[in-house]
Structure 1
Amino acid sequence: MANLLLLAAVILGICGMGWLALAMDSHWKQVRSGLPSPATVRLLRYLGGTSLFISLVFCLAVDHATMASLVWVMLLAVAALTIALVLAWQPRLLAPLVLWLPKTER
């Protein structure tokens, strides 16, 4: 069970960083055409922050607070690096994170 919670925390961390990155105009343009609407930007920021918080909760459920916070900070670093490398080499791989959003422009 602990391994599944940690795996879920990693997946949520990567998705959260991806959503936070896609809330920026420059990264959105790399993945989709046009610009996101202000409501879409707010939604992506909310999703990103919420998923990172839930990943922290999952880490806390697996281990005591000092170890869980260390694991979570390392998870954030790995997730940020992963998203940065995906944006540098294959930004279209992040498209499934916003597949359900309409292609709106500001």
Structure 2
Amino acid sequence: MAVGGGAVTVGGPAFVMWVSPTDEELVKKYNPELQKRSREGRYEREKEFDDFVMKLKKYSKSNKPIWAVQKDEENKAKEANIKAEKQSVLDEVKLRKEALRREAGLLVESSGSE
């Protein structure tokens, strides 16, 4: 019984490792187009993973749980995006007003007081 249990306990995972293909073997079975896309996207995926790990390391330095710090960072990023969008819209509106004033002849080019 013990020998049978040991064979299943040790032999099962060893058999799975022996039968499972490696990453290189899987990539070799791809068609050439998929291989090309996989190679092209590798750098971006690695960079994305590295960024994720760096963020986790940064979040782990806080006394708060990682998910709470991550949520706070997401909220800050959303607020910053909203502010940037709002500012760009305001700038665009200002440029349109100036263009309309120039067309109407109300804005003099040399005046820098506005």
Question: Would you call these one fold, judging by a TM-score over 0.5?
Answer: no
When the two structures are superposed, what TM-score results if normalisation uses the length of structure 1?
0.31
Rg: which structure is higher? 2
When the two structures are superposed, what TM-score results if normalisation uses the length of structure 2?
0.29
| Structure of greater relative contact order (alpha carbons < 8 Å, 6+ residues apart) | 1
